Amino acid sequence: MSYLFTSESVSEGHPDKVADQISDALIDNFLAFDENSKVACETLVTTGQVVLAGEVKSKTYLDVQKIARDVINKIGYTKSEYMFDGNSCGVFSAIHEQSQDINQGVDRASKEEQGAGDQGMMFGYATKETENYMPLALDLSHKILQELALLRRENKDITYLRPDSKSQVTIEYTDDNVPFRIKDIVVSTQHDDFGPTDEAMLAKIKEDVIHILIPRVIEKLPNDIKALFNNNIVYHVNPTGKFVIGGPHGDTGLTGRKIIVDTYGGKGAHGGGAFSGKDPSKVDRSAAYATRHIAKNIVAAGVADEILIQVSYAIGVVEPMGIYVNTYGSANIDKSDGEIAEIITQLFDMRPAAIEDRLKLRQPMYLETAAYGHMGRENTTISKTFENVDGSKKTIDVELFTWEKLDYIDRIKKAFGL
C-alpha cells in the first residue's frame, strides 16, 4: 500500500534561524582570526532584543554586537515596523571563558589525540531519490523557501514579502518506496498589511504563491521531479490567515531548535545535538558532517540505494565507541550491514581531529550552513571578508560544504569490489 511522508523547512527569517545565523557568524569570526578557537555560542532573539551566551577559548576578541547586527540586517530585518531590526535592537552578551574541566578532555599535546568535545551519537543519511542524495520532501521544502527569499530580495514580481516564512511538502510513495506524486504543499509567509481586506490580501498571496513562486521552483528541477507536480496538489497558503506579525517579534527564537530542518526532514535519524554555534571540536557538528559524507559517497558508489550511519563518542575519548549501519534492505552487494560498517571503519578515520582535517572544518564556513539545511548543499569555494575590532580586514577563500564532496567513490568501489 502506498504511504505519505512529509518534511518541513523554515526560512532565514524564521526566529530560530535568525538565532542560528548569529551563532554561526560568531563561530566564523572567531575561526577567521584564530582557527584553534573553541566556541559554544547560543543566541536568543525576541522583540527588539538579542541575547548572546556561551563559552569561548580564543586568542581573538570580537565586536559581537556588530556581528549580530550585520547578520540581522542581511537577513532583511531592517524596518522598525518589524519590531525587530538590526540597527535598533538591543544586543546583550554573556559570553565567557570555556570551562577548563571540558577543555582538558579536548586539547592534547598531539592534535591527532584530540578527544571528543562531548558524548553522544550522530547520524548521517543518504538516498538515491534526488540528485543531491537528500530526501525529496525536505529538498523541495528548502527550494520553495530559497526561491521565496529570491523573490523577496528582487522585490519586483512580489513586493509585499517579509523575511519570516515556512514550507511543508507531503509526498505519496509507492510500495517500492518510490515517490510518485506530490499531495500537499504548505507555504506560510510573513507579509505587509496591504489590504484592502484580509480576504483580498490572502487571495492575492495564494495566487502569487501558486502562479509565481511554484513555477519558478519547478523550472529549476530535473525532469523526473517536475513530473511529480500536477493540478491535483492541494496548496495551503497562510492557512491560519494573515501573517503580518512575525520574526522574533511574533515568536522568540533560539539556537538549535530546528535540527530536523537542518538534517534530513525526519528521514533516517538524529542524535539530538544541534550544530549552529559550535566549533568543529564538538562532535555534535563534525561527526554529523562526517557521517553524511560517508553516507553520500556510499550511495553514490552503488553500495546501497539508501543508508543510515551512526557514530558515537564519549567525551574526551579519541576513538568512537562504534559505527552502526542500516541500509534498509537496499544494499546492492552480498554483505550484511555489520560487514559494511566494518569496511567503513577501515576506510574512514573517525577520530575528531581526523574529521576536522579531512573536511577542512577549521575554516570560517558556518554562516552559510545556518539556513536551508546543512546537508545536500553545493560544495563550492567563495571569498569572505572579516573585520577585526581594530578595523583591520582579512579576506579568506573558504570551501563550503566539504562533506558534500563525492571524493571517496573510487576508494569505496575498490573496498567493496564494485
Domain boundaries, the chain: 3-8+136-246, 15-108, 120-127+268-416
Task: Tell me the whole-structure pTM to 2 decimals.
Answer: 0.95
Question: Distance (Å, rounded) from C-alpha 214 to C-alpha 205?
Answer: 12
Q: Is 40 annotated as a binding residue?
A: no
Cα separation of 23 and 18, whole Å? 9
409 Cβ neighbours under 8 A, 6+ residues apart: 297, 300, 301
Q: Is 258 annotated as a binding residue?
A: yes
410 annotated to bind ligand: no
Q: What is the pLDDT of residue 99?
A: 57
Which three-class secondary structure state does DSSP give residue 181?
strand
User: CB under 8 Å to 29, separation ≥6 — which residues?
Assistant: 60, 62, 67, 364, 386
Q: Does 386 belong to an annotated binding site?
A: no
Task: Look at strands 253-254 and 90-97 and give their pairing.
Answer: unpaired
CATH of 15-108, one of 3.30.300.10, 2.70.50.30, 3.40.50.620, 3.30.830.10: 3.30.300.10
282 in a known ligand binding site: yes
156 annotated to a ligand binding site: no
**DSSP annotation string for 82-141:** GT--TTTSEEEEEEEEPPHHHHHHH--SSGGGPPBSS-EEEEEEEETTSTTSS-HHHHHH
Instruction: Look up the CATH architecture of domain 120-127+268-416.
Output: 2-Layer Sandwich (3.30)
Q: How many CB atoms lie within 10 A of CB 303?
A: 25
34 is in an annotated binding site: no
- Would you state the pLDDT for residue 119? 87
* Matching CATH number, 3-8+136-246, of 3.30.1330.90, 3.30.70.890, 3.30.300.10, 3.20.20.140: 3.30.300.10
For residues 23 and 42, the answer to whether their CB atoms sit within 8 Å is yes
Output the pLDDT for position 213: 98
The annotation status of 42 as a binding-site residue, yes or no, is: yes
**What pLDDT does 110 receive?**
61
Name which of 160, 156, 163, 153 is nearest 82 in CA terms.
163
Is 305 known to sit in a ligand binding site?
no
Here the cell at position 14 is 524564521
Hey, what amino acid is at 249? H
Q: Which residues contact 73 (CB under 8 A, 6 or more apart)?
A: 85, 86, 87
Q: Please report the pLDDT score of residue 138 as a whole number.
A: 98
> Residue 226 annotated as binding?
no
Q: Is 267 annotated as a binding residue?
A: no
Determine whether the annotation assigns residue 55 to a binding site. Answer: yes
Helix (H, G, I), strand (E, B) or coil at 352: helix
Spell out the per-residue pLDDT of the chain, length 418, in tens. 799 999 999 999 999 999 999 999 999 999 999 999 999 999 999 999 999 999 999 999 999 999 999 999 999 999 999 999 999 999 999 999 865 544 555 655 566 678 787 889 999 999 999 999 999 999 999 999 999 999 999 999 999 999 999 999 999 999 999 999 999 999 999 999 998 999 999 999 999 999 999 999 999 999 999 999 999 999 999 999 999 999 999 999 999 999 999 999 999 999 999 999 999 999 999 999 999 999 999 999 999 999 999 999 999 889 999 999 999 999 999 999 999 999 999 999 999 999 999 999 999 999 999 999 999 999 999 999 999 888 889 999 999 999 999 999 999 999 999 9
What confidence score (pLDDT) does residue 98 get? 67
Extract the C-alpha cell encoding 184.
Answer: 500537499
Cell of 301: 558508489
Amino acid residing at 80: S
SS3 category, 233: coil
pLDDT (0 to 100) of residue 179: 95
Is 149 flagged in the annotation as binding? no
CA distances, 91 to each of 23, 52, 63, 94, 238 (Å):
13, 8, 11, 10, 31
Whether 3-8+136-246 shares its CATH topology with 120-127+268-416 is answered: yes
119 is in an annotated binding site: no
Do 69 and 86 contact (CB within 8 A), yes or no?
A: yes
User: Is the distance from CB of 9 to CB of 372 less than 8 angstroms?
Assistant: yes
